């Protein structure tokens, strides 16, 4: 799922929920992002950032 996120969302601009630490730019950061979403910690900010 991390590689899927990298291929589709690598070039998303940094907004609320998607910043320097939580993004899909590298495999490690993709794994952190997936952990954040799977634990329901701020998933709504991630969703808003990916939809815009």
List beta partners, residue 15.
Answer: 18
Q: What DSSP letter does each residue of 13-48 carry, written as one string?
A: PPBTTB-SSSSSSSHHHHHHHHHHHHTTSSHHHHHH
List beta partners, residue 41.
Answer: none
52: pLDDT strictly greater than 80:
no
pLDDT in tens, 5-47: 899 988 888 888 788 888 899 999 999 889 988 998 878 888 8
Specify the number of domains making up the chain.
Answer: 1
- What pLDDT score was predicted for residue 18? 85
47 against 3, higher pLDDT: 3
Range of the domain at 16: 2-51
């Amino acid at each position: 799922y991390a590689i899927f996120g990298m291929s589709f969302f690598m070039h998303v601009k940094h907004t609320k929920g998607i910043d320097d630490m939580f993004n899909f730019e590298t495999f490690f950061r993709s794994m952190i992002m997936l952990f954040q979403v799977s634990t329901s910690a701020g998933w709504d900010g991630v969703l808003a950032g990916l939809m815009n």
